[in-house]
Structure 1
Amino acid sequence: MDLIPKPDQIVAASANVAQKVLYGGVADLRPMPRTLIDEGTLREVYHYRSQGRVRETGDPVLLVTPLAAPSLCFDLRRGCSLVEHLVTQGRPTYLVEYGQVSFKDRNLGMEHWVQEVLPEAIRTVSRHAGGRPVHLVGWSLGGTFSLLTAAAWSKLPIASVTAVGSPVDVTQVPLIAPVRPLLGIVGDRASLITLAYRVMGGVPQPLVKRAFQLSAFDKLVTKPFVQLAKLDDTDFLAQIEAVDRFTKNMIAYPGRTFGQLYHRMVRGNELAEGTVHFEGRDISFADITVPVLAFGGSGDTIAPVSSVRPIEDLVPDLRFEVVPGGHLGMLTGRGARETTWRILDSFIDEHASDAGRTTKRASSGARTATAKKKPSAPAKRATASPARGGTVRNAQGEPAIGSNPNRRFSSASSRGLAAPRRGAS
């Protein structure tokens, strides 16, 4: 509001205060309707149902949730929901999330997501969408998992990978860089951090929540004053409410996974070298054969642009974009509607399969001044039959991994298609 509020500002502010007091808030927090189509150990795959008369066309999009963060990151609120944006365009939209992490999951490492969770989710989505290749869109660690999966499984039916705010060089992360030289200074086994996560079986939800809040400490301190100054801005207040709900729903880290992130990514900075060692094999970003879109947020303090940009030297076929916003804001902030989402639309359309080009969507993908695209490298990509249940085949005409149209779902998955399940609405 102005220093001396105008009459219309006073009216708007009064209406917003009344809405908050009488109805609990101004944000439309209704989730987009979805159906559980497959599940496994820390794996839940959902299909978002089309709205009204919109008919699904084109290749499927699989949203990949990061560890510790709820899938609300993709469906923050109506009007600032990437899910809503994709569904209203008629894109077949899916999501993989992991449920609640508990002490019994303490022995699960990153390889569980790279070798089991994501590959199975991709096969399920491709099959559900009629055998078409899948566009992966991962945020934060979800983007890292997507990149590693594409590098490890070249025969999976993947059309493209988009990584939003996924750091590669952690030495460029302001929150980590100053303390890296001190980590494990007394030895790995005696390290207090190592001892703590082993005793707790991971990093509990309250600590994850507090860490996310402290990553934007300045905003946390000034939030009450900013809200007061913006009492007449309904959209701003709605965004604050949605982000608060997101933060309250943070999830724990499994012990072994956190240990790998701590020792390999934070201390060892393995991703910056482009190769990660998992279960007797090396997974290299250089082995990715599909197009990759990477986003850096100009206001991101968790994964600043300087920590994301090194991916330009590691992936053969890459488009890099810098967009406005912080770590979450670049994905589902108010400005993302005109920046990140438009670029994503353009990228997906550009790399659609032959079957996915049935409908041309109106999308604006104007590149920012900081954008950089590397020359495309020849890649052997899976192609799909447009017929539902068709077999996905690679460049040699052989069936790709997980493309068997006769594969039987478990009874739990079949029930998910027939009746409302947990998380569906």
Structure 2
Amino acid sequence: MNLVPGPDQVVAAAGNVAHKILYGGLADLRPMPRTLIDEGELREVYHYRPAASAQEQGDPVLLVTPLAAPALCYDLRRGCSVVEHLVEAGRPTYLVEYGEVSFRDRGLGIEHWVEEVVPAAVEAVSQHAGGRPVHLVGWSLGGIFALLATADRADLPIASVTVLGSPIDVSQVPLVAPLRPLLNLADGRLLTPFYRVIGGAPKPLVTWAFQLASFQKLVTRPLAVATRLDDADFLAQLEAVDRFTSKMSAYPGRSFGQLYHRFVRSNVLSTGRYELAHRTVDLAALTVPVLVVAGATDGIAPVNAVKAVVPLLSGSPEVRFEIVPGGHLGLLTGRAARGSTWQVLDEWVGQWSRTSAPRGPATSPRSGRTQEEIPPSTDTIGSNPSRRYGSAASRNLAP
């Protein structure tokens, strides 16, 4: 609202406040309808039901959830839901989530998701979609899971990978820099007894860490709300984000230990290699197209921390990098994502999808498509002059 609000703003603000009091909120939090198609240990794979107004067509998209964050990240609220956007566009849309992590899961490490959960989900989705190759889309740690699983399993039917806000070089994260001397105390074992005793990182700690990354917004929030009481969409987004944050879950103990020692303290992903139980996964072995997206104001995964993966993907036939508006969650499902991230994702998946049904032996065993089946792109990413955050200037893959 203006410093001196007009009559229409006063009326809109009063209506929003009344609606919130009477109905409990302004956000439409109805989840998109979905059906369980596969499950296993900390693995639930869902297919979102097609919209009545659009027939499913093309290769499927599999949304990969990060640890600790709820699957609401992809279905935040109606109007700001990646799932809703994809379904209404007629794209076969699937999601893998992990259920509630408990103390009995404390022995599960990152390899559980890289070697078992993501590969099993990809195979289930491909089978459910009639043998089509799958476009993996992962946000935050979900993007890292997608990259490692794809690099590790060349036999999986994967058409492309999209990583959104996934920090590869943790040394580029300002939030971590002040903590580095503390992390290296006692050879990094300062927190080890703590997370081993309690079985991981508890939910309150995870929630607090996520909120800390948006500390400035947290401090200025009361003023922002007071000055935008007439903006129903803004208030609805706050409600949806609050619900998302309240549903954070715990990290399994071993996974948290690996994130702490390998990802944060040792920064091993910045080398492009990650040690699993019996072998090393090299991101250079990944042979499918990769789209990398960073949020312009992301405090958890700043632009340089995300962009660091680009030169590591030397085996990929095409790597594209985009900077979009928004913070860590906002780049995925903020109000500005409708006209930025989602458009980029649509173009990318469309470019690397078949328009025809599977044709047996003529298709590639790796991705299930031939080059002739890939439709030409009339608006390549980074060339659209109307997009505020194009990537034409950041296309160089050299370090």
Q: Distance in 2 between matches of 1:266 and 1:53?
A: 45
Q: Distance in 1 between matches of 2:354 and 2:375?
A: 12
- Distance verdict in 2 for CA 1:241–1:351, change over 3 Å: same
The aligned counterpart of 1:328 is: 329
In the TM superposition, 1:60-79 aligns within 5 A as 60-79=60-79
The aligned counterpart of 1:32 is: 32
Residue identity opposite 2:250 in structure 1: A
What SS class does the counterpart of residue 135 from structure 1 fall into?
A: strand
Query: 1:63-83: CA deviations, max 9, x gaps?
Result: 000000000000000000000
Query: 1:80-118: CA deviations, max 9, x gaps?
Result: 000000000000000000000000000000000000000
The aligned counterpart of 2:166 is: 166
Contact kept, 8 Å, 1:63 with 1:138, in 2: the verdict is yes
Instruction: Say if 2:223 is the partner of 1:241.
Output: no
Q: Distance in 2 between matches of 1:222 and 1:86?
A: 33
The aligned counterpart of 1:55 is: 55
In the alignment of these two chains, the number of paired residues is 373
Contact kept, 8 Å, 1:159 with 1:353, in 2: the verdict is no
What is the CA-CA distance between 1:354 and the residue it aligns to? 5.3
What is the CA-CA distance between 1:16 and the residue it aligns to? 0.2
Residue identity opposite 1:135 in structure 2: H
Q: TM-score, normalised by structure 1?
A: 0.85
What is the CA-CA distance between 1:278 and the residue it aligns to? 0.4
The aligned counterpart of 2:286 is: 288
Residue identity opposite 1:295 in structure 2: V
Residue identity opposite 1:249 in structure 2: K
Contact kept, 8 Å, 1:345 with 1:363, in 2: the verdict is no
Query: 1:30-86: CA deviations, max 9, x gaps?
Result: 000001111100000000001113110000000000000000000000000000000
The aligned counterpart of 2:152 is: 152
What SS class does the counterpart of residue 355 from structure 1 fall into?
A: coil
Instruction: Say if 2:360 is the partner of 1:339.
Output: no
What SS class does the counterpart of residue 63 from structure 2 fall into?
A: strand
Q: Distance in 1 between matches of 2:96 and 2:50?
A: 17
Identity %: 61
Q: Distance in 2 between matches of 1:259 and 1:13?
A: 47
Contact kept, 8 Å, 1:63 with 1:136, in 2: the verdict is yes
What SS class does the counterpart of residue 187 from structure 1 fall into?
A: helix
The aligned counterpart of 2:391 is: 370
What SS class does the counterpart of residue 63 from structure 1 fall into?
A: strand
Aligned CA RMSD, in angstroms, stands at 1.8
The aligned counterpart of 2:295 is: 297
Q: Distance in 2 between matches of 1:65 and 1:291?
A: 20
Q: Distance in 2 between matches of 1:374 and 1:128?
A: 37
Q: TM-score, normalised by structure 2?
A: 0.90
**Higher-RCO chain (CA-CA 8 Å, sequence separation at least 6):** 1
What SS class does the counterpart of residue 185 from structure 2 fall into?
A: coil
Contact kept, 8 Å, 1:59 with 1:355, in 2: the verdict is no
What SS class does the counterpart of residue 38 from structure 1 fall into?
A: strand
Q: 1:270 is matched with which residue: 262, 268, 275?
A: 268
Q: Distance in 2 between matches of 1:362 and 1:50?
A: 27
The aligned counterpart of 1:80 is: 80
The aligned counterpart of 1:398 is: none
- Distance verdict in 2 for CA 1:210–1:27, change over 3 Å: same
What is the CA-CA distance between 1:187 and the residue it aligns to? 3.2
What SS class does the counterpart of residue 59 from structure 1 fall into?
A: coil
Q: Distance in 2 between matches of 1:363 and 1:30?
A: 34
Gaps of 5+ in 2: 358-372
Residue identity opposite 1:207 in structure 2: L
What is the CA-CA distance between 1:362 and the residue it aligns to? 10
Instruction: Say if 2:313 is the partner of 1:315.
Output: yes
What is the CA-CA distance between 1:192 and the residue it aligns to? 3.1
The aligned counterpart of 2:227 is: 229
Query: 1:176-229: CA deviations, max 9, x gaps?
Result: 1222233141234xx331111000100111111111111111111111111111
The aligned counterpart of 2:105 is: 105
Contact kept, 8 Å, 1:293 with 1:318, in 2: the verdict is yes
The aligned counterpart of 1:414 is: none
Contact kept, 8 Å, 2:58 with 2:355, in 1: the verdict is no
Query: 1:255-298: CA deviations, max 9, x gaps?
Result: 00000011111111110000001012110110000000001111
Contact kept, 8 Å, 1:114 with 1:145, in 2: the verdict is yes
The aligned counterpart of 2:365 is: none
Q: Distance in 1 between matches of 2:348 and 2:127?
A: 23
Q: Distance in 1 between matches of 2:292 and 2:181?
A: 28
Query: 1:141-175: CA deviations, max 9, x gaps?
Result: 00000000110001100000000000010001011
